[in-house]
Structure 1
């Protein structure tokens, strides 16, 4: 049997990782400035993280959600405390797509309506409803298309108001990323978020904030939307939540009523996943990683802002989009193969996406900064 070939692969096989570095089977060392799409939040193989998982492995790895699991309670309490959403409830699942799937479903259960608004440039996942609110026709199969899912333009207040005026009574929810990652580090305006919140309240629609990539301290706030003082009805999270261990979560306003069987999952919130997620929260808090995110993000931007071929820098914390005056593919390729640095791209071909671990060190950022300068000056 062969693998189903759906991934364009770099000819690199990492076999070891530590902190912000990876090594291939030849022993060659790479700086990880992308974290596998912002998954590596506290660095590879953090010793505290490793110890929590090893301890849990010696106790119990998994049992279904038909029994009590006190690790889920501990995770919910710690997540509520660090995020400021202590009054919300938590549903645990396995991924960001699954979190968004359950959020959309829960919203529809809540108000009995079926239409969902989403925005140009969005990426919410590849499962049925999640991919239907993702702005990429290449990954939306015919079975996923439906007039219930309505795309609006990003930051377009006039269009937003018009759609609510004409279809507001049928709109179940609005789903929006705290910061668009795949879309090219696109940041919503405060006025746009405020208007979405206002219209959702007026028309009994549910505001879903997708913080799968922009959450967990990535933006310099625990959740990116918190910069604007917006309180959504539902928040989804995943990527950085488990530092590589698959886990996702749905933070749910207390106005939503739970009932037996309303949502469900086999693997979600299992013992190992909870141990990983608890370890991540402990490290973020105890090592002040949100403070480091603000400091290192600002440092990187300040050092590269005058480099040639950079048109603009879109950044919140360590969620950075470097817009070049050309396709970023060759720059990214040179950083990888000539300078041994992992970076990312986006749907905007000109945007180089930077998502290092939140505990990145200054000397590690300097490796990237110097390499980027060299590559851009050689163009």
Structure 2
């Protein structure tokens, strides 16, 4: 048997990682500015993270959600305190797509409606309903098209209201910052307008913070740069620093019933240990603030030193869009300068490093990028 080949792979095999660095099997050292798709939040192999998971594994690693698990309650309380969303409830699952799928199901359960509004260049996952609301026809299978969705222009409140007036929309879902779409930040006034329209037309507002959450933007969640109060917030990626976990933060105005949502592996002991370790390190090392400070420094210096491009983003979620494709530039950064970066489309470099990145490391990247150009 061989692997089902669905990814184009770089000829690099990482075997070790620490902080913001990765080593391959040849002994080469790389600066990680991509964090494995924004997953590595507190840095690779953080000692507190390793100890938390190891200690938990020595006690109990897994049992079903049919019994009490105090760690789930601890995680909900700590996440509420650090995010400022203490008046929300937490449903734990395993990934971002699963978080969005459950959020959409909850919205439909609550409203009795079926249609969803999402936005162009948005990405919400590869499960059935999540694919149907994602603006990428390449990943939509025939079975996904059975879901009812409308994909609208970002920052156009009139278009949203036109659709909401039809009275069949259960949810409006939007990313705090569009990641795969190119690091596009919605206008704060647009988010606030969505909140008002959803209340007016009794639709559920879902903020997808799977990539933009957990301090990456310089606030705990990116939507907190505005005054909007979403009904549901979804999160995953940085939540477990590499251990699979996702969460649905649900306004306590929702009324659940047994069997409404469910999961086998969601909120297991090891996942909770990883997620609690992440929050503890983020708090102790002030990583949300570090993301804001270092990210602002990067954006400022990119604007000063890199010409003929557009710089977008907040905190350590940055897009650098050029007029021409950047495939060769990324390869040079990776194979010659030993720097991992991401990509959005053909022309945009995507920067999503661990939140522990420091100014010296970011200056090294800007220097090498400038030299490469």
Q: Which residue of 2 aligns with 1:192?
A: 190
**Is residue 2:330 matched to residue 1:357?**
no
Q: Which residue of 2 aligns with 1:307?
A: 305
Answer whether contact 1:309 1:325 (CA < 8 A) is retained: no
Q: Determine the C-alpha separation between the residues in 2 that align with 1:54 and 1:7.
A: 31
Which of the residues 311, 314, 317 maps onto 2:315?
317
CA drift at 1:290: 1.1
Q: Which residue of 2 aligns with 1:73?
A: 73
Q: Which residue of 2 aligns with 1:159?
A: 159
Q: What is the root-mean-square deviation in Å for CA atoms of aligned residues?
A: 1.0
Q: Which residue of 2 aligns with 1:254?
A: 252
Answer whether contact 1:114 1:148 (CA < 8 A) is retained: yes
The one-character-per-residue Cα deviations of 1:303-333 (angstroms, maximum 9, x if unpaired) are 2213344421102011000111211211111
Answer whether contact 1:114 1:170 (CA < 8 A) is retained: yes
Q: How many residues align?
A: 373
1:30-45 superposed matches below 5 A: 30-45=30-45
Answer whether contact 2:189 2:226 (CA < 8 A) is retained: no
Q: Determine the C-alpha separation between the residues in 2 that align with 1:325 and 1:111.
A: 44
Answer whether contact 1:40 1:357 (CA < 8 A) is retained: yes
Answer whether contact 1:111 1:205 (CA < 8 A) is retained: yes
1:316-355 superposed matches below 5 A: 316-347=314-345, 349-355=346-352
The secondary structure found in structure 1 opposite 2:110 is helix
Moved more, 153-162 or 67-76: 153-162
The secondary structure found in structure 2 opposite 1:74 is helix
1:1-379 superposed matches below 5 A: 1-146=1-146, 148-165=148-165, 167=166, 169-347=167-345, 349-376=346-373
Q: Determine the C-alpha separation between the residues in 2 that align with 1:161 and 1:61.
A: 48
Answer whether contact 1:116 1:149 (CA < 8 A) is retained: yes
The secondary structure found in structure 2 opposite 1:126 is coil
Q: Determine the C-alpha separation between the residues in 2 that align with 1:221 and 1:61.
A: 32
Q: Determine the C-alpha separation between the residues in 1 that align with 2:135 and 2:305.
A: 31
TM-score (structure 1 length as normaliser):
0.97
Q: Determine the C-alpha separation between the residues in 1 that align with 2:197 and 2:47.
A: 46
TM-score (structure 2 length as normaliser):
0.98
The one-character-per-residue Cα deviations of 1:246-291 (angstroms, maximum 9, x if unpaired) are 0000000111111111100000000000000000001111111111
The secondary structure found in structure 2 opposite 1:306 is helix
Answer whether contact 1:310 1:322 (CA < 8 A) is retained: no
Q: Determine the C-alpha separation between the residues in 1 that align with 2:291 and 2:220.
A: 11
Answer whether contact 1:157 1:192 (CA < 8 A) is retained: yes
Q: Determine the C-alpha separation between the residues in 1 that align with 2:16 and 2:308.
A: 33
CA drift at 1:156: 1.7
The one-character-per-residue Cα deviations of 1:23-82 (angstroms, maximum 9, x if unpaired) are 111111111000011000000001111110111111111111011111100000000000
CA drift at 1:7: 0.6
